[in-house]
Structure 1
Amino acid sequence: MKNLQTFPAFIVDDDPFWTAILEQILIGIGITDIHTFEDGVDCLEQIHLNPALIFLDYQMSNSDGLDILQKIKASSPEVEVVFCTALESLEVAIAAMEFGSAEYLLKSTVTDEVVKELVSTFQSNKVA
């Protein structure tokens, strides 16, 4: 099995408070190679680092999460992308899943346990 905790994780969000919270959750479950980006363009420029997991916001000041998701999946289809946003929109959630997001989470529902369960599920789905 591929251990996702040994691969980089990206957080792509322009909210520094949320980024810090999510970063602490990831560290708490053993993921320490974490890269944070305030917009999707910076994330795409670093996709060569081969992240195993990307937490991607929808509404960022300089980029649109759905556009970034499509570009991530086009260049790195094996990357697990979790849309993590404050926007509660069925239309956006459906589009995110159609474009390859593994999950659509509302920031208000994210807990340590939710993230731990996601990472565990992704890890069990990967093969070496």
Structure 2
Amino acid sequence: MKNLKTLPAFIVDDDPFWTEVLKQILLKIGFQKIHTFEDGESCLKHIHLNPAIVFLDYQMEHSNGLEILQEVKGYYPGIEVVFCTALENLEVAIAAMEYGSVEYLLKSNVTEELVAEIVSNYQSVNLA
């Protein structure tokens, strides 16, 4: 078992403002290794870094979050994926959970406390 915060965290989003906000929150709650990617393909090229948690956007210019989610979980099902979106869509939320997302996070609702609570639910992880 390893502490989640000592392992890499990925933020996959093409919105630089959102990415920076989330990165600052993760740093503030104790993450040490944060990698950011503007699209899913870049994330997948670096998946060998074995992130413990991935914050994944749904709507990116060159990527579909649901497809990337499936590929991330196909690489290693133990990676915790938090689906992040500005879109309130029940079908997308259900699909994200069916494909293995542990949370469906609406960007408009994000606070440091909420992210800390999500992370605390997955504090220790088993990674290969």
Instruction: Give TM-score scaled by structure 2 length.
Output: 0.96
**2:25 alignment counterpart:** 25
Task: Say what the alpha-carbon RMSD is for the aligned residues.
Answer: 1.1
**2:115 alignment counterpart:** 115
Q: Does 1:75 align with 2:75?
A: yes
Query: Which letter maps to 2:69?
Result: L
**2:98 alignment counterpart:** 98
Q: Distance in 1 between matches of 2:97 and 2:64?
A: 15
Q: Does 1:57 align with 2:57?
A: yes
Q: Distance in 2 between matches of 1:120 and 1:102?
A: 12
Structure 1 unaligned residues grouped into runs of 5+: none
Q: Once the two structures are superposed, what CA deviation does each residue of 1:38-63 show, in whole Å capped at 9, x if it has no partner?
A: 00000000000000000000000000
Q: Once the two structures are superposed, what CA deviation does each residue of 1:67-123 show, in whole Å capped at 9, x if it has no partner?
A: 000000011111000001101100000000000000001000110001101111101
Kept after mapping to 1: 8 A contact 2:78/2:126: no
1:2, distance to aligned residue in structure 2 (A) = 2.1
Q: Distance in 2 between matches of 1:18 and 1:32?
A: 19
**1:86 alignment counterpart:** 86
Higher strand share: 2
**2:14 alignment counterpart:** 14
Q: Distance in 1 between matches of 2:85 and 2:44?
A: 19
Query: Which letter maps to 2:24?
Result: Q
SS at match of 1:122: coil
In the alignment of these two chains, the number of paired residues is: 127
Q: Distance in 2 between matches of 1:60 and 1:14?
A: 6
Percent identical: 69
Instruction: Give TM-score scaled by structure 1 length.
Output: 0.96
Structure 2 unaligned residues grouped into runs of 5+: none
